[in-house]
Structures are given as structure tokens and as C-alpha cells.
Amino acid sequence: MESPRRGAPSPSASGRPSMSRVQPALRPAPAPARNPLRVRQFWPRLSTLVPALGLLVLALLGGACSSNPAVTKAGPGAWRVGLRDYRTGRNFELVNETHTSRVEQYSTLRDNADRKVQSDEIVAELVGWLESEGFGSLAQTGAAPTEKSAERVWVLEVQGPDGPRHLLVTKSTTPESYAVCRKLKAGFLDIYNATYAGQAKQMAEGETPFLAPELPKRLRK
């Protein structure tokens, strides 16, 4: 009778082999080392989005310009385009880099993040598009009013080297003019929302940078 080999599993009462030796436990894989340059490596990737975004905005404005040959770019200098909603109190502001550099704007602690900085070329295209779509024919010379009133709805303001002009929409604005104003507002907001911004904001005590989730009406007290 052949003797079992040394180290081979011995048969059990059920006829199945049983392990005579305990298998060593598997060690968990070591956690990857933390990269101390993780934050620094994020910014080069993020910075590559800015030129791509600029090309996208120029493509959108370029399509509008090609359909309207009267579009001309704004001249050089510091430009600012702003939108104020008197009903909600919201402000949206877009300036070019000649007006305020990105470093100066975003690295300074501010009370709000309403202002965004875009390249000179894109803001020049935007101002030219606004002019070609009727802003110049409806706008008034001077700064936009800041006081809220029952009659005022919103205002679009363009400020360049020659000073500010504003387009005020009120409850008495004619339907024909309002259709033009609404198109101008939508075009500005398209560029504003497509512009990246990373504002350093001064937080008040107890304030959070995140919005609290809104409860359904049935759960509100």
C-alpha cells in the first residue's frame, strides 16, 4: 500500500480531503501614497479649460456675426457689461482683462461673486453683437439706475472708454422693444454662464458657500 505523500491533504471521514495546514491570510494591498502635489496638479488641468471655453464662445458669437454682417467688434480699452434684476436684486457683471485681470479679481476677497473676467476678444465680440442686435438704438446715455422701484424690471448696461449706456426694461416697455431686450439679455447670460470664475469670497459668520436643499411644500411648516 502506497503511503501518502508528505504535505498532501489527508482524507476525512466523508471522503473529501481536508487541509492539514492552515493557509496564510491574504494581506490587504497597501494604500496608494498621498500625492502632496495633488492641489498643484489640479490647476494646470483647469487652466486648459479656459482656452477651450473661449473658442466655444467665439464659435457661438461667430455664428451670430456671420448671420448679421453689420456686427463689428468693440474698440480697445476697458469694457464692462452688466445686468441688474430689480425684482430679485441679482447682479451679473462681465469685464474684460484690460478692465480687471483675472488674478486681481479672483484672488481678492469680496462680498459677492457677481463679476467674472473674460478675454478682451470675447468681450469685444459680445459688445459688437449687442450693438448689432439693437442695443445702441434703445439704450440711454449714462449709468443705470440702482434704486429698486415697482415700475423697473431689469437693466442691461454697457460701459466702455466713452462712458456707460444702459437699456432699461420697465412694465411699460412695448412688446416690440421687449422682444429685442429679451434677446440681448439671453445672449449676455449665455456668455456669462459659459465663463469660468473662481472668486475668493469673504464668508460671514455662520454663512455657508453651499445652498441648503429646498424642502417640498408638503414638508414645510
Domain boundaries, given as residue ranges, for the chain: 43-100+118-192
Q: What is the pLDDT of residue 158?
A: 96
SS3 sequence of the chain: CCCCCCCCCEECCCCCEECCCCCCCCCCCCCCCCCCCHHHHHHHHHHCHHHHHHHHHHHHHHHHHHHCCCCCCCCCCCCEEEEEECCCCCEEEEEECCCCCHHHHHHCCECCCCEEEECHHHHHHHHHHHHHCCHHHHCEECCCCCCCCCCEEEEEEEEECCEEEEEEEECCCCHHHHHHHHHHHHHHHHHHHCCCCCCCECCCCCCCCCCCCCCCHHHCC
Q: What is the pLDDT of residue 157?
A: 97
Per-residue pLDDT of the chain (221 residues; tens, 9 = 90+): 555 555 555 555 555 545 445 555 556 555 555 444 333 333 333 344 444 455 555 555 555 444 454 556 778 889 999 999 999 999 999 999 999 998 888 888 888 888 999 999 999 999 999 999 999 999 999 999 999 999 999 999 999 999 999 999 999 999 999 999 999 999 999 999 999 877 776 666 766 655 555 556 665 55
Q: What is the pLDDT of residue 218?
A: 61
Q: What is the pLDDT of residue 43?
A: 36
The rounded distance, in Å, linking the Cα atoms of 128 and 44 is 32
Q: What is the pLDDT of residue 72?
A: 66
pTM higher than the cut 0.75? no
The rounded distance, in Å, linking the Cα atoms of 132 and 126 is 10
Q: What is the pLDDT of residue 186?
A: 94
Of 180, 188, 205, give the one whose Cα is nearest residue 84. 188
Q: What is the pLDDT of residue 127?
A: 95
Q: What is the pLDDT of residue 48?
A: 40
Q: Which residues pair with residue 118 across a beta bridge?
A: 96
The rounded distance, in Å, linking the Cα atoms of 136 and 74 is 12
Q: What is the pLDDT of residue 41?
A: 35
Q: What is the pLDDT of residue 67?
A: 45
